[in-house]
Homo-oligomer: A and B are copies of this chain.
Amino acid sequence: MIVGNLSPPAPLTRDAFAAFGDVVEFDGAAISVINAGYAERARDLATVDLGRSDGKPSVSIFKAKARQTPMTVTLMERHPLGSQLFFPLSGRGWLVIVCADPADPKSYAVFRATRKQGVNYRPGVWHHPLIALEDGATFLIVDRTGPGGNCDEVAVGGFHLAF
């Protein structure tokens, strides 16, 4: 059942996303030249926070099915013990939905990320599961593995989103 509407996606920028975590992208970062001129490096692009309760870094690849517009947001999740980074490895961009209060559609922010933009959710930030726009799109994930429950899910809305 639709009980509210979300705003259409806005461009993903570091400033707009600052309350939720890091935008991981080369453009706009401080650059240093390394490897005898064979590479430019943009470093420390994300605050990767994984060590709580004996956590360790984990690297995954997700292969996604495309979401279709319009979609209804019915679930949000958060990882209280660690940050979670997503970076697209293929495709033409993807969507990011975050919120302060899953029950309040006015607290939601929806972003369209480009092919060259990843995000790193801070621990505890409510976000929607991965939203790919092409079937078979792949993403690299850096998050936490370790003891303790690290995924809260909550049923919401539904909230209508067109993109």
A145 contacts which chain B residues (CB < 8 A)?
43-44
Cross-chain contact A45 with B60 (CB below 8 angstroms): yes
* Cβ A26 vs Cβ B59 within 8 A: no
Contacts of A142 in B (CB 8 A): 48, 57, 59, 142
User: Which residues of chain A from 50 to 74 have a CB within 8 Å of any chain B CB?
Assistant: 50-51, 56-65, 67
| Docked complex Cα distance between A64 and B57 (Å) | 26
**A contact residues vs B (CB 8 Å cutoff):** 24-26, 29, 34-46, 48, 50-51, 56-65, 67, 75, 85, 87, 89, 116, 118, 120, 129-130, 132, 138, 140-142, 145
What are 18 A-B contacts defined by CB distance under 8 Å? A26-B138, A38-B64, A39-B62, A41-B60, A41-B62, A42-B60, A42-B61, A42-B62, A43-B59, A44-B59, A45-B60, A46-B59, A48-B58, A48-B142, A57-B57, A57-B142, A59-B120, A89-B89
